[in-house]
Amino acid sequence: MAQATRAAQAQRSCDPAFPATVSVLLGYQGAAFAGFARQPGQLTVQGQVEQALSVMLRRPVEVVCAGRTDAGVHARGQVVSFDVTQDECERLLSRAAVRSLNALTHDRIAVQRVDRRPAGFSARFDAVEREYRYHVHEGAVPSLFASQVSWHVAGSLDVDAMQEAARCFVGEHDFKSFCKAASAEGKPTCRFVREVSLHRCEVLGEPLLQVRVVGNAFLHSMVRTMVGSLVAVGRGQRAPEWIAEALKAADRRAAGECAPAQGLVFWEVRYA
């Protein structure tokens, strides 16, 4: 499917009728949607964005995204790209375009910017690095303000042990143990992770533990399973070296639980 999409985009970019490419930077609150990807009869981010662009440009529009997110997962820095005519490019780069797109999309989607890109640019295939952040709320009482963007974990976590375990993820590894099993069948599961770090932050004065994960690409549910496994270490249920053992096993049953969707934010995507 990915190769077919890339081939179709390459063919489209050679079409003289669509000589330009633009990207749209947007964010969204994931709780409102059945994920990013378009699905028949479901409210999705892609469906909303494509509908708004089709109304603006008065023709069907299909976008390519930097990274698909599951139902309930949020995004701060999602990027989508698509090919346009020169006139369409000028319209989309006008000052009024962002305001119009926000008026046409769901109120849980925020379009931030439209940029011109080199012809044939792909939000997905030209990305060199993606960053996700996951938020955990520790304590006996659930968060009042951050409950929609964090996972409540009763008690306190051993953050030092979690950070020790997190170092096992850094580098190039087979992450088959840390993704949805069905999605890994017959597909390459090696990925490069540059950073996994833990930080303290606040949302409206409420303390959260933030897990920052940066890598070239990610498998289905990979970051959430990494976080679920780190929390098992933080709870004292597993030793930090268990993460390395789970990686070597290349078996989903060897790793921890998949953390809830609402704590995950697709933070940023970087291009060369």
> Which CA distances in Å does 226 have to 186, 197, 231, 232, 262?
21, 12, 9, 10, 15
CB contact at 8 A, 53 and 101:
yes
Which of 70, 107, 126, 160 is flagged as catalytic? 70
Q: Residue 36 gets which letter from DSSP?
A: S
Instruction: Please classify residue 116 by burial: count the beta carbons closer than 10 Å to its beta carbon, then call 0-12 exposed, 13-18 middle and 19+ buried.
Output: middle
Q: In whole angstroms, what separates CA 172 from the centre of its chain? A: 19
Q: Cα–Cα distance between 208 and 180 in angstroms, integer?
A: 26
> Which CA distances in Å does 207 have to 109, 139, 177?
26, 10, 30
Q: Does 271 carry a binding-site annotation?
A: no
CA-CA-CA-CA dihedral for 248, 193, 189, 72, to nearest 10: 110
Answer yes or no: 70 catalytic. yes
Q: Cite the annotated binding site by residue number.
A: 132
Q: Cite the annotated binding site for substrate by residue number.
A: 132
The residues annotated with a catalytic role in the active site are 70
